[in-house]
Structure 1
Amino acid sequence: MKRVRILVFNAALGVLDYRVPEGMAIEFGSVVIAPLGPRQVLGIVWEPDRLSAQDVPESKLRPLLEVLPVPPLPERLRRLIEWTADYYCTSLSSVARMALGSMAALRGGGTTTEYRLTGQEPARLTPQRAAALDALQGEQASIKELADRASVSEGVLRGMVGAGLLEPVVVDLDRRYPPARPEHAEPTLSEGQQAAADIFVEAVNDRKFAPFLLDGVTGSGKTETYFEAVAEALRLGRQVLVLLPEIALTENFLRRFEHRFGVPPILWHSSLKSSERRRAWRAIVAGEAQVVVGARSALFLPYAELGLIVVDEAHEVSFKQDDGVRYNARDVAVMRAKFEAIPVVLASATPALESMQLAEAGVYRKIDLPARFGGAQLPDIQILDLRQEPPERGKWLAPRLVEEMKARLARGEQSLLFLNRRGYAPLTLCRQCGYRFQCPHCTAWLVEHRFSQRLACHHCGHEVPVPDACPECGTGDCLVACGPGVERIADEVAEVLPEARVALVTSDTMNTAEAVGEFVAKAEGKAIDVIVGTQLVTKGYHFPDLTLVGVVDADLGLEGGDLRAAERTYQQVAQVAGRAGRGEKPGEVLIQTRHPEASVISALAAGDRDAFYAAEIEARRDANAPPFGRWAAIIVSSEDQSEAKAAARAIGGTAPNHPDMLVLGPAPAPLSLLRGRHRFRLLINARRSAELQKTLRDWLEPLQFPRGVRVNIDIDPYSFV
């Protein structure tokens, strides 16, 4: 090739043509460095017939500067990038950037220098050095990464290097990972598990696109089932990708994987240090990374020889990205499997309604595991009507739930309380003047966190100390915490069960692999009597002595008018209920509610998932909601409220009059101020037959907006705030 078309990583420029210098070897998918004015830009060589660009005479083309020493992005990955950009109405360069997950890795291997504590005892310590010594035990990373983890300046750590408290370590960036062994610890499967495993193994051998929905009750051994397909892919020398929705689930998964295959898998998520990210990316593109376990971003990596994709807990909302490229990793995983011509397994105890409908239509092949492994029984679920059995004044746990917890404690068994609300209280106000603490950057109340003694916004991260007096009227000792968060529930447990050992499990307390590992070890070692947690405890954990689950507020998820509210509530409560009775001892679940007549609550009580799904499907059909219709959102934002409002009105005023589409709005978004930006929203409800993405592009592309205005499209939105 003498002339090439380059996809550059600048959405405003998009596509540019360049000349290939004599002697430079270029392929489609090659990663290159090109000149752009006085600067240099990174880009990917693309097929010219698939991307349009301005026609420039060859005499005016500038030459490429360099081809980077990494394998070209495979054609099937380039097709996935195109599909994702087209379906989610986003720029091609934004999607392609996710494939190059480590810019440092593009320059090849070599070594880097990391630092670790020497173990020396200093003669005297500054407060900053003392904090760093406490925070960096067992850590090894670059100075910048260590400074971030210890919350000190890089200068403090460089001083510690000079004082002999930190020592440099030379790390080989391309050292090989130890190989996984498919025969390491082959399990004994139940008859149902073996039948499912055989189907997955056959699909791996067939090397054809085959989407599966693995629908198994909690505790049925879904992981062990698809591990057999992983083992078969390893025998064939092919790579495997396992997507998990939460980093907090990774630690438990790693232990199970290492027990089965002898070594841990390769991790990919945003918390990896730079040297680990670089090493993993290079092993993936070289085909040396056998099994990659990661968050949704791992989906776009350039695997050399992918043979299987597994999406665990496939119903999880966190697979939908709500900023940047707003894609759903569950759906894109199915498309990647289609382009790669490989099987994909969507595993869940509470599948998404869309997945169930696709299985019903025969698009997915449904594999059922209806019974728990080893003869364990599903827990007994009872509804606790708070109108008939209210908690004591100032309390949040009903007397019957407290008595059941006391009984479990006396028998040496464990209890779990679930409330999907972090912090101590969702609202703090002044009892004197009624002042409410609100985030200055968002339309949201500040949540009180007693452990950190801060008021925090859970949307933008803004924090302030809890004041001694009301900032409005100046009255002291007048602040009142309204409503419960998990910290408040933990305090109540400590009050009613003073001898109980209580663990608080939230994203605030379980934000590292070490913290998760310590919690799991304590729970399995019976060093915890009561677990109080958010959705982090609803899945993935197996504690044989946990026999009681209490859902503190089952109605919480039904608030807000989200079309998936009932489905999400059912999934969360069913998942957390599944933590009870997973061993030999029977389990019991008590669901506190003020609306026992709600369809989702009565379905949970009856254990009739099929009836709930059937009713929900009919409601969705009547509303032309997914999976029968399509939703899209247009979110307009600006730091200037009037500017955002005017742009939203301009969009609404040019809305197409389409017989298969209904445009609602514009209107202020429920979170009308988010991170300092005023937000307006339009919702589009379309029939399946409508060309939704084309209509949106034709509608919005001709419009011009001020520089401060952002217009984002969200296809198949999960968040309506």
Structure 2
Amino acid sequence: MQTDLLPPPADGRVRVMLTLPFAGPLDYLVPPALATARPGDIVTVPLGRRTETGVIWDATSSLPPEFMPPPQKEVPASRLKPVAARLDLPPLPAQLRQFVDWVAAYTLSPPGMVLAMALRANALAAPPRPASGWVAASPLPTGLRLTPPRQKVLDAVSASPLSTGDLARQARVSTAVIRGLAQAGALNAVEITPPPPFATPDPAHCPPQLGGEQAQVAAELRARVTEDAFSITLLEGVTGSGKTEIYMEAIAACLDAGRQALVLLPEIALSAQWTGRFGRRFGAEPALWHSELGSRLRRLTWRAVADGTARVVVGARSALFLPFDQLGLIIVDEEHETAFKQEDGVTYHARDMAVVRARMSRAPVILVSATPSLESLANVGAGRYRHLRLTARHGNATMPEVQTLDMRADPPERGLFLSPVLTGAINDAIGRGEQAMLFLNRRGYAPLTLCRTCGHRMQCPNCTAWLVEHRARHILTCHHCGYDEPIPQTCPKCADTDSLTPIGPGVERITEEARATFPDARILVMASDTLNGPAATAAAVERISRREVDLVIGTQIVAKGWHFAHLTLVGIVDADLGLGGGDLRASERTVQLLHQVAGRAGRAEAPGRVLLQSYVPDHPVMQALVSGDFASFMQQEAEQRRPGFWPPYGRLAALIVSADTPDAADMTARALGQNAPQLDGVQVLGPAPAPLAILRGRHRHRLLLRARRNIAVQPIVREWLSRVRPERGARIDVDIDPVSFL
């Protein structure tokens, strides 16, 4: 029900949700001057001695009973303060308000902090004042003296109004001539309406020529959109099968229906190549939404989404909280990516929340991947998701040949990290005029620095993590808290000089080895340290596409959907990286990542080859990559998780205790353990020190609640937390459906 149309209560009481960590909305009175205020209106209200921005909230909630927070005590009307003002902003749609409530209840987060993601401060600033311009008076004043310069001015404004500066330049006169005409009454001042910030995409601009299974899948996706109803479709296609071009046909159907579309990408770096494809298909650029937008563009985009002039938005996970009112389609590209999980603040998974947002908007959602998550595959098996497959690459391209290099049989030379077999293959590829890629998912020069004399290891003072050497910047840095220090000349412990040595390779070290091994090769490094934003990424991609690069060396940023027609060889430097540790998804993530990287090879006419350097070539992950049998591997993963009710066949909720002192963290964690719920189908693991026992100077413990899939964990966790009072300086964070276990 669209509660926007409901009148305020007879007693003038309204609920206002503030972007603060309160348990729910606060009550205020509506003054007579704001008698027309409705739910969704953005207002300012007094709070103590300051003024805060909030949204008039709905009087009733649409949440299911198990998600309902505890009722709040009603404040007497005599103690309520009046709403201060209503802002000149589009109201927050009812669907978005319901979505905020749902996300808050599901993640056990304060609803005001979820609302803060929808009400970005720089998006709510007042719009710029309209520019003023000039038009010719009609009729012109009697007796007006028309000199040649004056006539040029009148001719210039005959088509459309122009500002003083633009008019002077176009007519090639001084501004004094314009002022004289205005004083004589021959020019009238008008406001110049700015053009829309985003051009309207044209669904018929350049439709692709599709055939076979591509045409069938595209028709199926268009049908889902034209149903004008909620549905979930998993689009699975091998790398290079044209998934992007195909789901753009669903966007075209959405535009034809007069509704808005949202596309979520896991990395904003992907937006450069994606928007290029979009522009070629639709003849216009989409609206972008991510953290690197400037304040002005963020404000324009927010308003354009609210008024519907932004027809297609592509963005990071936070784009889910934009004020769409006519949302007709959501696409989650690379749906398996863990980058869709927000770990700080409100912890939510954008893929899962996209399904919720689509349901509330009665819109279809399409989840896209070459290597779908086990969660999505389980939903397909349960009949909750439709499943569409693309089994072949587009055109004449074929899937690359994948081989393992047993590093025990073909080890690199001492002090190096590339097998002679791999270096030989790179030389051959470059010699044929083709491009090659080396992948290592580890930033910096080396992950560990130690003293050869005393064995001291350089560790972060704020975290239980080793400092990573970044030789190009001459620093040691912590990738968890951002701490850095210059690389010392002497060991901090034994004071021996020049005894510190790097252990293991990072992408910088591989680059150093590659420059020495291939001195004539043109090398490009693609990592978050070297590519600062979408513009730098677009420039790098353009260099590769123009064949100005022979060898690409990169971290996981190179795995995401790039199409390089002349890249035929991919070498995985350390295929075993990521298999260790206690993460239940380690094997699944490794298969997905390496399969994506491998998919960069051979995407055009020339066949591709992938070489995996591994010390465990018989590992199921390596065997799955070599055989290309992703389905069988995921079935094995499912069989391992199902008996213990591990996701997706059970539910998890993590409680992370952090405190300034180890005693406060330990005592709070023990209190949680002693008060753990004792319920059938529910098990609590822990408390135990977190793998990152100290993070950003805070001591950490973890507890993990595991439940059968038919049990809602939120009310259990909420009641559990109510029985424990954290020690002074301690905090308990809740992560529903955790992805990281650090």
Provide TM-score, normalisation by structure 2.
0.87
Instruction: Assess, with a 3 A threshold, how the Cα gap between structure 1 residues 551 and 111 changes in structure 2: closer, same or farther.
Output: farther
Question: Please, which of 69, 72, 75 is the counterpart of residue 94 of structure 2?
Answer: 75
The answer on whether the counterparts of 1:174 and 1:283 sit within 8 Å (CA) in structure 2 is no
Does 2:52 match 1:41?
yes
Question: Please, which of 699, 710, 713 is the counterpart of residue 731 of structure 2?
Answer: 710
Question: Please, which of 10, 13, 17 is the counterpart of residue 3 of structure 1?
Answer: 13
The answer on whether the counterparts of 1:418 and 1:533 sit within 8 Å (CA) in structure 2 is yes
**Runs (4+) of structure 1 moved beyond 4 Å?**
171-175
Counterpart-to-counterpart distance in 1, 2:703 and 2:723: 18
Largest Rg, 1 or 2: 2
C-alpha offsets along residues 12-33 of structure 1, whole Å, 9 cap, x if unaligned?
Answer: 4632111111131211122111
Instruction: Assess, with a 3 A threshold, how the Cα gap between structure 1 residues 241 and 56 changes in structure 2: closer, same or farther.
Output: same
C-alpha offsets along residues 512-555 of structure 1, whole Å, 9 cap, x if unaligned?
Answer: 22211221111111111111111100121111111111111111
Instruction: Assess, with a 3 A threshold, how the Cα gap between structure 1 residues 103 and 504 changes in structure 2: closer, same or farther.
Output: closer
Counterpart-to-counterpart distance in 1, 2:311 and 2:299: 16
SS at match of 2:395: helix
Aligned to 2:472: 451
C-alpha offsets along residues 329-355 of structure 1, whole Å, 9 cap, x if unaligned?
Answer: 000001111110001110100000110
Counterpart-to-counterpart distance in 2, 1:323 and 1:289: 29
Aligned to 2:657: 636
Aligned to 1:85: 104
SS at match of 1:394: coil
The answer on whether the counterparts of 2:196 and 2:309 sit within 8 Å (CA) in structure 1 is no
The answer on whether the counterparts of 2:22 and 2:111 sit within 8 Å (CA) in structure 1 is no
Counterpart-to-counterpart distance in 1, 2:129 and 2:331: 32
Question: Please, which of 225, 237, 240 is the counterpart of residue 246 of structure 2?
Answer: 225
SS at match of 1:471: coil
Counterpart-to-counterpart distance in 2, 1:642 and 1:191: 65
Structure 2 residue runs without a partner (length 5+): 1-7, 62-68, 132-191
Within-5 A mapping of 1:273-672: 273-672=294-693
The answer on whether the counterparts of 2:90 and 2:306 sit within 8 Å (CA) in structure 1 is yes
C-alpha offsets along residues 655-690 of structure 1, whole Å, 9 cap, x if unaligned?
Answer: 111121111111110001111111110011111122
Counterpart-to-counterpart distance in 2, 1:534 and 1:626: 28
Does 2:84 match 1:65?
yes
Counterpart-to-counterpart distance in 2, 1:595 and 1:455: 31
Question: Please, which of 42, 61, 68 is the counterpart of residue 31 of structure 1?
Answer: 42
Instruction: Assess, with a 3 A threshold, how the Cα gap between structure 1 residues 329 and 669 changes in structure 2: closer, same or farther.
Output: same
Counterpart-to-counterpart distance in 2, 1:564 and 1:525: 38
C-alpha offsets along residues 392-428 of structure 1, whole Å, 9 cap, x if unaligned?
Answer: 1111111111110110111111111111000110001
Counterpart-to-counterpart distance in 2, 1:690 and 1:236: 39
- Report the residue type matching 1:449 in the other structure: H
- Report the residue type matching 1:4 in the other structure: V
The answer on whether the counterparts of 1:109 and 1:173 sit within 8 Å (CA) in structure 2 is no
SS at match of 1:23: helix
Instruction: Assess, with a 3 A threshold, how the Cα gap between structure 1 residues 675 and 14 changes in structure 2: closer, same or farther.
Output: same
SS at match of 2:55: strand
Counterpart-to-counterpart distance in 2, 1:623 and 1:552: 34
Aligned to 2:161: none
Counterpart-to-counterpart distance in 1, 2:292 and 2:322: 16
Question: Please, which of 193, 198, 207 is the counterpart of residue 177 of structure 1?
Answer: 198
Instruction: Assess, with a 3 A threshold, how the Cα gap between structure 1 residues 453 and 690 changes in structure 2: closer, same or farther.
Output: same
The answer on whether the counterparts of 1:242 and 1:312 sit within 8 Å (CA) in structure 2 is yes
- Report the residue type matching 1:687 in the other structure: R
- Report the residue type matching 1:487 in the other structure: E
The answer on whether the counterparts of 1:109 and 1:174 sit within 8 Å (CA) in structure 2 is no
SS at match of 1:84: helix
Aligned to 1:100: 119
Aligned to 1:675: 696
Q: In angstroms, what is the RMSD of aligned CA positions?
A: 1.6
- Report the residue type matching 1:497 in the other structure: F
- Report the residue type matching 2:43 in the other structure: V
- Deviation of 1:111 after TM superposition, in Å, equals 7.0
C-alpha offsets along residues 82-136 of structure 1, whole Å, 9 cap, x if unaligned?
Answer: 2111111111111111111344525445379xxxxxxxxxxxxxxxxxxxxxxxx
- Identity %, equivalent residues: 50
SS at match of 2:352: helix
- Report the residue type matching 1:16 in the other structure: L
Counterpart-to-counterpart distance in 2, 1:512 and 1:480: 32
SS at match of 1:375: coil
- Report the residue type matching 1:78 in the other structure: R
SS at match of 1:70: coil
Counterpart-to-counterpart distance in 1, 2:19 and 2:256: 38
C-alpha offsets along residues 216-261 of structure 1, whole Å, 9 cap, x if unaligned?
Answer: 0000000000111111212222111000000111111111111111
Counterpart-to-counterpart distance in 2, 1:175 and 1:266: 12
Structure 1 residue runs without a partner (length 5+): 113-170
Counterpart-to-counterpart distance in 2, 1:307 and 1:89: 28
Counterpart-to-counterpart distance in 1, 2:74 and 2:416: 71
- Report the residue type matching 2:534 in the other structure: A
- Report the residue type matching 2:20 in the other structure: N
The answer on whether the counterparts of 2:38 and 2:56 sit within 8 Å (CA) in structure 1 is yes
Counterpart-to-counterpart distance in 2, 1:720 and 1:476: 38
Within-5 A mapping of 1:111-190: 175-190=196-211
Counterpart-to-counterpart distance in 1, 2:611 and 2:464: 34
Counterpart-to-counterpart distance in 2, 1:555 and 1:359: 30
Counterpart-to-counterpart distance in 1, 2:23 and 2:637: 45
Aligned to 1:121: none
User: Which shifted more, 245-254 or 512-521?
Assistant: 512-521
The answer on whether the counterparts of 1:662 and 1:686 sit within 8 Å (CA) in structure 2 is yes
The answer on whether the counterparts of 2:263 and 2:314 sit within 8 Å (CA) in structure 1 is yes
Instruction: Assess, with a 3 A threshold, how the Cα gap between structure 1 residues 188 and 206 changes in structure 2: closer, same or farther.
Output: same
Instruction: Assess, with a 3 A threshold, how the Cα gap between structure 1 residues 13 and 213 changes in structure 2: closer, same or farther.
Output: closer
Instruction: Assess, with a 3 A threshold, how the Cα gap between structure 1 residues 627 and 685 changes in structure 2: closer, same or farther.
Output: same
User: Which shifted more, 623-632 or 100-109?
Assistant: 100-109
Instruction: Assess, with a 3 A threshold, how the Cα gap between structure 1 residues 12 and 84 changes in structure 2: closer, same or farther.
Output: closer
Counterpart-to-counterpart distance in 2, 1:631 and 1:616: 17
Counterpart-to-counterpart distance in 2, 1:217 and 1:496: 33
Question: Please, which of 53, 58, 64 is the counterpart of residue 72 of structure 2?
Answer: 53
- Deviation of 1:591 after TM superposition, in Å, equals 0.7
- Deviation of 1:81 after TM superposition, in Å, equals 1.4
Aligned to 1:133: none
- Report the residue type matching 2:37 in the other structure: I
